[in-house]
Amino acid sequence: MCRHLAWLGAPRTLAQLLLEPEHGLLRQSWAPRRQAHGTVNADGWGVGWYGPARPEPARWRSARPLWAEASLASVAPHVASGCVLAAVRSASAGMPGDESACAPFARGRALLSHNGVVDRAVLPAAAWPRAESVCDSAVLAAHLLDAPDALGERVAAVGAADPGARLNVLLTDGGRLLATAWGDTLSVLQTADGVALASEPFDDDPAWRDVPDRTLVTATPASVELTAL
């Protein structure tokens, strides 16, 4: 299992989103509060963000624990974006441990993170050549990135084929956030300057709301829509 978050709204630095919150991804890498599967997320991390120089997002991924990434603390305060997607990883047994297996996965303008587990045997064979890694999350990402607008339908179909799957997904194209809650926790926070989605709240703001299981979330900086799956 993993932990992930996405932000869409006024620009925030990577430090503000990943490192500075009391219960942010840095702390969740070693002491998550709501993680039911696994105890630490020490098998890598990644972050993707959008900047003005080019349409495709930038990514920084590593197979090291987030707390061991010494350079991040000096770089993160200097990188700001209005759309960020980040994750810390707890690898499933038997899955590869290199950085290509760490979210976010990318295609064109899209970024995707998967928090959960899925039987790769239920995923279409056509997804494998486009996957960044042979790990379950990467193959799932390749399948879902084929049709981002059909995220809810594809997640529901995969869940029907693998009833034991946990399919919490975050997806963004830089202008909107899509997410599914399927088998694990997901929370949403609307603020005056944007919206955050996260596996678990990164602070104790009472405005955080839990997303019901089997739900698709569609969010812009000004609105959040929940659709039952």
Please list the active-site residues. Answer: 2
- Chain-centroid distance of CA 219 in Å reads 14
**192 and 201 in contact (C-beta within 8 Å)?**
no
**35 and 1 in contact (C-beta within 8 Å)?**
yes
Q: Terminus-to-terminus CA distance in the chain, angstroms? A: 22
Considering only the C-alpha atoms of the chain, give the largest distance between any 2 of them, rounded to a whole number of Å: 44
The kind and range of the H/E element at 111 are strand 110-117
**Beta-carbon neighbour count of residue 74 at 10 Å?**
9
The one-character DSSP state at 72 is H
**Whole-angstrom Cα distance, residue 220 to residue 162?**
30
**Whole-angstrom Cα distance, residue 32 to residue 77?**
23
**26 and 18 in contact (C-beta within 8 Å)?**
yes
**138 and 132 in contact (C-beta within 8 Å)?**
yes
